[in-house]
Structure 1
Amino acid sequence: MQRYSVSELARGKDRGHPTETVCILADVRTNNSERKSIQVWSYGRNKIANLPRSLIRNHTHEAQHWAAISMPRWLVNKELLWDEPHPAEGEDAAANSERRTAEYVVGRENKYVLRPGQRRSIAAYGGRA
Protein backbone atom coordinates (compact mmCIF):
# COMPACT_ATOMS: atom_id res chain seq x y z
CA MET A 1 0.00 0.00 0.00
CA GLN A 2 1.37 3.40 -0.94
CA ARG A 3 1.63 6.01 1.83
CA TYR A 4 1.30 9.77 1.41
CA SER A 5 2.78 12.56 3.48
CA VAL A 6 0.63 15.07 5.32
CA SER A 7 1.62 17.80 2.84
CA GLU A 8 0.55 15.63 -0.10
CA LEU A 9 -2.82 15.00 1.57
CA ALA A 10 -3.23 18.70 2.31
CA ARG A 11 -2.60 19.53 -1.36
CA GLY A 12 -5.29 17.03 -2.34
CA LYS A 13 -3.04 14.46 -4.04
CA ASP A 14 -5.15 12.08 -6.06
CA ARG A 15 -4.83 8.76 -4.25
CA GLY A 16 -7.05 6.63 -6.46
CA HIS A 17 -6.03 4.10 -9.07
CA PRO A 18 -5.64 5.77 -12.52
CA THR A 19 -7.99 3.32 -14.27
CA GLU A 20 -10.70 3.58 -11.61
CA THR A 21 -13.96 4.94 -13.01
CA VAL A 22 -15.14 8.28 -11.62
CA CYS A 23 -18.45 10.03 -12.34
CA ILE A 24 -18.39 13.82 -12.68
CA LEU A 25 -20.95 16.58 -13.09
CA ALA A 26 -20.12 18.04 -16.49
CA ASP A 27 -21.07 21.37 -18.01
CA VAL A 28 -21.94 20.14 -21.50
CA ARG A 29 -21.29 22.40 -24.46
CA THR A 30 -21.97 19.95 -27.33
CA ASN A 31 -23.82 16.63 -26.93
CA ASN A 32 -24.55 15.45 -30.45
CA SER A 33 -24.91 11.66 -30.73
CA GLU A 34 -23.46 11.75 -34.27
CA ARG A 35 -20.11 13.13 -33.01
CA LYS A 36 -17.38 10.85 -31.64
CA SER A 37 -16.88 13.08 -28.61
CA ILE A 38 -18.76 15.16 -26.07
CA GLN A 39 -17.53 18.67 -25.47
CA VAL A 40 -17.57 19.81 -21.84
CA TRP A 41 -16.22 22.90 -20.13
CA SER A 42 -13.08 22.30 -18.04
CA TYR A 43 -13.13 24.71 -15.10
CA GLY A 44 -9.55 23.73 -14.25
CA ARG A 45 -8.22 24.69 -17.69
CA ASN A 46 -10.85 27.35 -18.55
CA LYS A 47 -11.46 25.84 -21.98
CA ILE A 48 -13.53 23.18 -23.72
CA ALA A 49 -12.40 19.56 -23.35
CA ASN A 50 -13.29 16.88 -25.91
CA LEU A 51 -14.17 13.59 -24.21
CA PRO A 52 -14.09 10.61 -26.60
CA ARG A 53 -17.25 8.51 -26.41
CA SER A 54 -15.13 5.34 -26.48
CA LEU A 55 -13.70 6.19 -23.02
CA ILE A 56 -16.77 7.59 -21.27
CA ARG A 57 -20.24 6.55 -20.18
CA ASN A 58 -22.89 9.24 -20.29
CA HIS A 59 -25.56 8.46 -17.69
CA THR A 60 -27.82 11.31 -18.82
CA HIS A 61 -28.00 10.81 -22.59
CA GLU A 62 -30.43 13.58 -23.42
CA ALA A 63 -28.67 16.22 -21.32
CA GLN A 64 -28.19 19.54 -23.07
CA HIS A 65 -26.39 21.47 -20.32
CA TRP A 66 -25.64 19.30 -17.24
CA ALA A 67 -24.61 15.66 -17.50
CA ALA A 68 -23.37 12.86 -15.28
CA ILE A 69 -20.42 11.27 -17.10
CA SER A 70 -18.26 8.35 -15.92
CA MET A 71 -14.69 8.09 -17.18
CA PRO A 72 -11.29 6.79 -16.08
CA ARG A 73 -9.64 8.78 -13.30
CA TRP A 74 -6.60 9.48 -15.50
CA LEU A 75 -8.81 11.32 -18.02
CA VAL A 76 -10.42 13.40 -15.26
CA ASN A 77 -6.93 14.31 -14.01
CA LYS A 78 -5.64 15.08 -17.51
CA GLU A 79 -8.50 17.44 -18.35
CA LEU A 80 -8.70 18.91 -14.79
CA LEU A 81 -12.40 18.10 -14.42
CA TRP A 82 -12.50 17.78 -10.61
CA ASP A 83 -13.91 21.26 -10.01
CA GLU A 84 -17.66 21.44 -9.62
CA PRO A 85 -19.37 23.59 -12.25
CA HIS A 86 -21.05 26.73 -10.97
CA PRO A 87 -24.73 27.16 -11.87
CA ALA A 88 -25.40 30.09 -14.14
CA GLU A 89 -27.51 32.88 -12.74
CA GLY A 90 -31.01 32.99 -14.15
CA GLU A 91 -30.95 29.35 -15.26
CA ASP A 92 -34.31 28.15 -16.52
CA ALA A 93 -36.32 25.44 -14.75
CA ALA A 94 -35.40 22.73 -17.28
CA ALA A 95 -31.65 23.29 -16.84
CA ASN A 96 -32.05 23.43 -13.06
CA SER A 97 -33.94 20.14 -13.07
CA GLU A 98 -31.31 18.62 -15.38
CA ARG A 99 -28.56 19.67 -12.95
CA ARG A 100 -30.34 18.17 -9.92
CA THR A 101 -30.81 14.88 -11.79
CA ALA A 102 -27.15 14.79 -12.83
CA GLU A 103 -25.99 15.60 -9.27
CA TYR A 104 -28.09 12.71 -7.94
CA VAL A 105 -26.55 10.28 -10.46
CA VAL A 106 -23.01 11.52 -9.66
CA GLY A 107 -23.59 10.97 -5.94
CA ARG A 108 -24.96 7.49 -6.55
CA GLU A 109 -22.13 6.46 -8.88
CA ASN A 110 -19.37 7.87 -6.63
CA LYS A 111 -20.68 6.35 -3.43
CA TYR A 112 -17.45 4.39 -2.84
CA VAL A 113 -15.00 6.54 -4.83
CA LEU A 114 -12.58 8.92 -3.14
CA ARG A 115 -12.17 12.37 -4.62
CA PRO A 116 -8.85 14.19 -4.26
CA GLY A 117 -8.36 15.36 -0.69
CA GLN A 118 -11.03 13.05 0.78
CA ARG A 119 -10.19 10.49 3.46
CA ARG A 120 -11.87 7.23 4.19
CA SER A 121 -13.74 7.07 7.48
CA ILE A 122 -12.79 4.49 10.09
CA ALA A 123 -16.09 2.73 9.43
CA ALA A 124 -15.06 2.19 5.81
CA TYR A 125 -12.28 -0.11 7.00
CA GLY A 126 -14.65 -2.20 9.08
CA GLY A 127 -13.89 -0.42 12.36
CA ARG A 128 -16.35 1.26 14.66
CA ALA A 129 -17.38 4.80 13.91
Structure 2
Amino acid sequence: MWRTVGCLLGTDLCPNNIRQYCSWCYTFLPDGEKFYTFGLAALCWAMWNSRNRATFEFKKLRSPFDVIYSACGYITYWAGLMMGEEREAMERGAKMLRINALNMMRICTAPGGMN
Protein backbone atom coordinates (compact mmCIF):
# COMPACT_ATOMS: atom_id res chain seq x y z
CA MET A 1 0.00 0.00 0.00
CA TRP A 2 2.74 2.45 0.91
CA ARG A 3 4.49 1.71 -2.39
CA THR A 4 1.35 2.92 -4.18
CA VAL A 5 1.31 6.15 -2.17
CA GLY A 6 5.03 6.59 -2.84
CA CYS A 7 4.47 6.21 -6.57
CA LEU A 8 1.77 8.85 -6.38
CA LEU A 9 4.32 11.19 -4.80
CA GLY A 10 6.98 10.27 -7.34
CA THR A 11 9.26 8.13 -5.20
CA ASP A 12 10.10 4.46 -4.85
CA LEU A 13 10.94 4.88 -1.17
CA CYS A 14 8.50 3.47 1.37
CA PRO A 15 8.33 4.20 5.09
CA ASN A 16 8.73 1.24 7.44
CA ASN A 17 7.87 3.07 10.65
CA ILE A 18 6.45 6.36 11.93
CA ARG A 19 9.81 8.16 11.89
CA GLN A 20 10.38 7.23 8.28
CA TYR A 21 6.84 8.37 7.48
CA CYS A 22 7.61 11.78 8.99
CA SER A 23 10.89 12.00 7.06
CA TRP A 24 9.03 10.98 3.91
CA CYS A 25 6.46 13.73 4.45
CA TYR A 26 9.07 16.39 5.16
CA THR A 27 10.93 15.38 2.00
CA PHE A 28 8.03 15.07 -0.44
CA LEU A 29 5.43 17.38 1.12
CA PRO A 30 7.52 20.10 2.79
CA ASP A 31 4.75 22.70 3.16
CA GLY A 32 2.05 20.50 4.66
CA GLU A 33 3.31 19.77 8.18
CA LYS A 34 -0.05 20.34 9.83
CA PHE A 35 -1.67 17.74 7.53
CA TYR A 36 0.75 14.83 7.96
CA THR A 37 -1.30 13.30 10.75
CA PHE A 38 -4.51 13.61 8.71
CA GLY A 39 -2.86 11.80 5.80
CA LEU A 40 -1.53 9.04 8.01
CA ALA A 41 -4.88 8.62 9.76
CA ALA A 42 -6.79 8.55 6.47
CA LEU A 43 -4.49 5.94 4.93
CA CYS A 44 -4.45 3.76 8.04
CA TRP A 45 -8.22 4.00 8.45
CA ALA A 46 -8.76 3.15 4.77
CA MET A 47 -6.40 0.15 5.04
CA TRP A 48 -8.08 -1.03 8.24
CA ASN A 49 -11.55 -0.84 6.71
CA SER A 50 -10.36 -2.62 3.57
CA ARG A 51 -8.81 -5.35 5.71
CA ASN A 52 -12.05 -5.72 7.66
CA ARG A 53 -14.10 -6.03 4.46
CA ALA A 54 -11.73 -8.73 3.21
CA THR A 55 -11.66 -10.57 6.54
CA PHE A 56 -15.25 -10.38 7.72
CA GLU A 57 -17.26 -9.77 4.53
CA PHE A 58 -14.99 -11.86 2.25
CA LYS A 59 -14.73 -9.01 -0.27
CA LYS A 60 -11.40 -9.10 -2.07
CA LEU A 61 -9.49 -5.89 -2.64
CA ARG A 62 -9.80 -5.13 -6.35
CA SER A 63 -6.86 -2.75 -6.40
CA PRO A 64 -4.64 -0.90 -3.94
CA PHE A 65 -6.01 2.24 -5.55
CA ASP A 66 -9.37 1.52 -3.91
CA VAL A 67 -7.71 2.18 -0.55
CA ILE A 68 -6.25 5.43 -1.89
CA TYR A 69 -9.70 6.56 -3.08
CA SER A 70 -11.16 5.67 0.30
CA ALA A 71 -8.45 7.70 2.04
CA CYS A 72 -9.24 10.63 -0.26
CA GLY A 73 -12.85 10.39 0.85
CA TYR A 74 -11.82 10.59 4.51
CA ILE A 75 -9.55 13.55 3.84
CA THR A 76 -12.30 15.37 1.95
CA TYR A 77 -14.79 14.65 4.73
CA TRP A 78 -12.40 15.86 7.41
CA ALA A 79 -11.63 18.96 5.33
CA GLY A 80 -15.33 19.81 5.62
CA LEU A 81 -14.83 20.11 9.37
CA MET A 82 -12.20 22.82 8.90
CA MET A 83 -12.46 26.41 7.79
CA GLY A 84 -10.64 28.78 5.47
CA GLU A 85 -7.25 28.05 3.98
CA GLU A 86 -6.81 24.78 5.87
CA ARG A 87 -10.00 23.41 4.37
CA GLU A 88 -8.96 24.44 0.86
CA ALA A 89 -5.48 22.95 1.30
CA MET A 90 -6.88 19.60 2.46
CA GLU A 91 -9.39 19.51 -0.38
CA ARG A 92 -6.60 20.29 -2.88
CA GLY A 93 -4.48 17.53 -1.38
CA ALA A 94 -7.27 14.98 -1.64
CA LYS A 95 -7.97 16.04 -5.21
CA MET A 96 -4.27 15.80 -6.12
CA LEU A 97 -4.05 12.32 -4.59
CA ARG A 98 -7.21 11.20 -6.42
CA ILE A 99 -5.99 12.53 -9.79
CA ASN A 100 -2.56 10.97 -9.35
CA ALA A 101 -4.15 7.63 -8.40
CA LEU A 102 -6.29 7.78 -11.54
CA ASN A 103 -3.22 8.48 -13.67
CA MET A 104 -1.33 5.61 -12.02
CA MET A 105 -4.27 3.29 -12.65
CA ARG A 106 -4.15 4.19 -16.34
CA ILE A 107 -0.43 3.46 -16.45
CA CYS A 108 -0.79 0.17 -14.57
CA THR A 109 -3.72 -1.12 -16.61
CA ALA A 110 -2.63 -3.62 -19.20
CA PRO A 111 -3.63 -2.68 -22.73
CA GLY A 112 -6.47 -4.86 -23.99
CA GLY A 113 -6.37 -7.01 -27.10
CA MET A 114 -2.60 -7.00 -27.61
CA ASN A 115 -1.43 -10.63 -27.79
- TM-score band by shorter chain is 0.3 to 0.5
- Structure with greater proportional helix content: 2
More strand by share: 1
Normalising by the residue count of structure 2, what TM-score does the alignment of the two structures yield? 0.37
Give the TM-score normalised by the residue count of structure 1.
0.34
